[in-house]
Amino acid sequence: MISYHTADVDGNRIFYREAGPKTAPSVLLLHGFPTSSHMFRNLIPILAERYHVVAPDLPGFGFSDSPERKKFAYTFENLAQTMDGFTRAVGLNRYAIYVFDYGAPVGLRLALAHPDKVTAIISQNGNAYEEGLSQGWNPIQKYWKEPTAANRAALRDFLTPDATKWQYLHGASDEALVAPESYGLDSFLLSRAGNDEIQLDLFLDYASNVKLYPRFQEYFRTQTPPLLAVWGKNDPFFLPPGAEAFKRDNPRAEVHFVDTGHFALETHHREIASRILDFLERTMLLPAHGA
C-alpha cells in the first residue's frame, strides 16, 4: 500500500509517497520536469515488496509547496538542498537514488555532498554528459547564452498542454499504454498561477547542471558507485550516448535501453522494475568504493 504524507523542510511542505517496510533498505525516487511523484505510481508497489520506497515532489511541482520566487530561488542547488533536508526530515540515512530528468542533477548533488549516504544510483533518462543533450535543448541553451526577455518568452511553448502531452507520447512504442491522466495532471499543475515563471527560472538555471557535469563524472570515477542506467532510447531530449557515457567513467555502470521515449515508466514499468530489482539485489548492500 502506498501512503501519502507531507514533511516540513525549512517551512515548506514537501509532499511524498511512501511504501514498503521501513526496516528494509531505502530507495529515494526523484522525478523530473514537468511531472511529480505521480510518475512512479506503477513502480512503487513493485519495489516496495522488497524495499522502503520514498518519492517526494520537488518544490514547485506536484503537491509540494510552491514558495514565492522572492522567498525561494528556484535553482537546482536549492532543490537539492531542500531534498537533503527532506531526507533528514523523514529519516533516510542511507539510500539508493532513482533519478529521472531534473531528478538527476538534484540526486547527483546529494551524492556529491554525501557519498557515504548514497548506496546506488539508478538513472532513467537522467543525464550527466554533454553528449546526452539533444538539439531539443537548443532554445534553452540560447536562453542560457542570452537571457533576454524575448528568449525567455520563447520557452513558454514548452509549458503548454500540447507540449506536455508530446513529451509523454513521443517515441512511445505503444501510445495506448500512456495514461492520459499523467500528462493531464502535469498540465493542470503547470497552469497554476505563477508556476510558469518558476519553470522558466529552472530552464535558465539548468546551465548550472551542465557546468557540474565534470564534477559528476569525477564522482563516478573516484567513488565508482553501483550504477544502473535504463534509458528510453527514443527520448527527444536525452540521447542514448548520455547513457553509454556512464561506462566511460564507472566500470560498475550497467546500461540498458528500452524501446520507448522520455517517460519510459508509462510503457515499460515492469521491465524497468525487473532490471532495478535485479540490480539492487546484487548491489544494494555494497557501499560505494571509498565511502
- Is the peptide bond preceding residue 34 cis, with omega within 30 degrees of 0? yes
> Choosing from 52, 262, 268, 269, which is the catalytic residue?
262
- Amino acid identity of residue 65, one-letter, is D
Residue 278 vs residues 70, 74, 104, 208, 209: alpha-carbon distances, Å = 45, 36, 21, 34, 30
Any idea which residue has 507531507 for its cell? 6
Give the dihedral sign, CA 169/102/26/212: positive
- Say whether 52 is catalytic: no
Q: How far out from the chain centre does Cα 202 lie? A: 14
Any idea which residue has 555502470 for its cell? 253
With b for 16 or more beta-carbon neighbours within 10 A and e for fewer, the 100-127 pattern comes to bbbbbbbbbbbbbeebebbbbbbbbbbb
Closest CA to 253 of 219, 281, 275, 224: 224
Q: Which residues are catalytic?
A: 262
